[in-house]
Structure 1
């Protein structure tokens, strides 16, 4: 095993002096280690004791804090011939001494199931009075890229600019992206511009030959992942047909709206007219006079005029003359509160008196009760 320069100088001086100098570190492993997540790593620390180191042996591994204001975290400890492995909760059950008996000179530890949070600077300190030695090692836990997502941005039409994008959300930087076409000649578009850091292909003025299947691969120092994208470049749509269809659709919508408005206005006008008709106040038209009433009024008026124009000479004739002009009426036409008036009667005048008054005798035909001539 090759010794470090410092150890070699110490050994040389001890040989020259003819005596040992106590506890020494004899490890030759790297001080910086890179590992992928999920893997295991061995942090090496080998030491040697001398007869002068007579005190108790203590081995302490700690994770140094990047902030000077914070305290370092003890990861694992060996003291009093006993190992204590449950000091640091995040590494509980994943950190162990490499040797079952570290006092034999092997203070190395093993870390399993590495996580990105395990990255940091680890320090091993070995104490056996009067000797004290320590060593620091940097551990970088890298995460391989997660499954990338492939998609196309922009309209996938001929003559348009299309951007093929590939993105991996997780993974230790830097991540490099590479594209390849797996169909249609396996040749990338001539107008495509590839960005390996951003993970894009910018295809300008795309043509139908750009259609096909593409694979994007995300790579870092500890792993790779890929995704598949199918691109279909279609011909441009018929713009004139679309415009004509849009105009026809707008006209139909306007016609429908006009018909609906017309029906609503007509229904509203009809409702308003019916409301005005219901609320209009009309004068009552007097009922037409019935024939019975006219006949009655005519008969009564005629009788009165006849009585008024009668002379004492013709009163007797009026008294003897039957009432031909009387029109019978039903009981319903008579007012219930007033009984029918009796026909007017003329005073009876004796015959000799009528002769003196110059009356002329008239022959009156005989009549029955109904007024019929016998």
Structure 2
């Protein structure tokens, strides 16, 4: 506080007395500098001392705050015959005094590897009591345009409106775009409309003569870059042919799909049919019919023959009158169901034992039978 009070008192005394002999900033260069990013810049701050400036030398470089409510940021300091360069982290390693010994009257500094964030007002203050001097320099770090990209927007056909675009993704505004034709007559089409800010060129009612090589240049106050575009204006396509080709292609696709579906369905049906046939029971010969009637017929025939054997000659004449007993039943009669086979008439022939002996017969026990011919 005492040093500051005495320093300010000395400055006031010099101003009041109008002393012409004291510390003086002698730099006369521009106080506004525009530089491209990545470059280096020297901020000039030359000074001279007077004989009465006998105090210690202090040199301060600060970045003035754009808002009055904020404090200035110290960038670099020289005090006590020593330089201090690590005050401002954003410029650490990129700010240095121009002279190895600023006491010789050179308080200038160098900023290297400039960035857009380095833009601001830098103030140089030199103090050597009772002398004092300062100088402000506005530094604007601009980004030069990046290499633009050239392309045609929309169809490039005869009779159509063709739009050429040129876009640079980086660069400090304002950017300015220019178009030129580098082939043939090197003249832009008469119907071309240029937009130097947006970077577009609209060509109305394009023709074959508009084909060629075009170059677009993007620039600002600190740099420029360019791109090249080859424009080919083509005849309009045969719409009818395209439609016919599209229809034929669709029909072919539908036919192919139909064939594939048909083959799949046929294969599936065939597989299903073979599977059903493999499980089907085949009958090569019809099943045999019931032999119950045949057995019954044979039983009836046996019974009749037994009856004939037990009859007397007198009874045979009566029995011979009945033709149904003269033939042996056929196979059809054997196979005919009992319900349809004719039943022989009942024979009530009774032969006694004595008569049977005289006839030379032998008594045989015949088992009893029911009407169906079954043995009881």
TM above 0.5: yes
1:196 is aligned to 196
1:301 is aligned to 300
Once the two structures are superposed, the pairs formed by residues 11-160 of structure 1 within 5 Å of their partners are 20=20, 22-160=22-160
Q: Does 1:178 align with 2:178?
A: yes
SS in 1 for 2:45: coil
CA change 1:356–1:240 in 2 (3 A) is: closer
Does the 8 Å CA contact 1:313/1:354 hold for their aligned counterparts?
Answer: no
2:370 is aligned to none
1:320 is aligned to none
2:358 is aligned to 354
Give the Cα–Cα distance (whole angstroms) in 1 for the partners of residues 196 and 126 of structure 2.
47
Does the 8 Å CA contact 1:20/1:50 hold for their aligned counterparts?
Answer: no
Q: Cα deviation per residue 1:221-260 (whole Å; 9 max; x = unaligned)?
A: 2222111111111111111111111111222233333344
RMSD, matched Cα: 3.8
After TM superposition, the score normalised by the length of structure 1 is 0.70
Shift of 1:213: 1.0
CA change 1:204–1:352 in 2 (3 A) is: closer
CA change 1:260–1:23 in 2 (3 A) is: same
Once the two structures are superposed, the pairs formed by residues 265-284 of structure 1 within 5 Å of their partners are none
Shift of 1:122: 0.2
Shift of 1:151: 0.7
Unaligned runs of 5+ in 1: 1-13, 318-324, 326-346, 358-374
Give the Cα–Cα distance (whole angstroms) in 1 for the partners of residues 142 and 306 of structure 2.
144
After TM superposition, the score normalised by the length of structure 2 is 0.70
CA change 1:286–1:42 in 2 (3 A) is: closer
Give the Cα–Cα distance (whole angstroms) in 1 for the partners of residues 300 and 19 of structure 2.
176
Shift of 1:299: 3.7
Give the Cα–Cα distance (whole angstroms) in 1 for the partners of residues 91 and 63 of structure 2.
11
1:237 is aligned to 237
Give the Cα–Cα distance (whole angstroms) in 2 for the partners of residues 352 and 75 of structure 1.
163
Unaligned runs of 5+ in 2: 1-13, 317-327, 329-350, 362-376
CA change 1:271–1:295 in 2 (3 A) is: same
SS in 1 for 2:244: helix
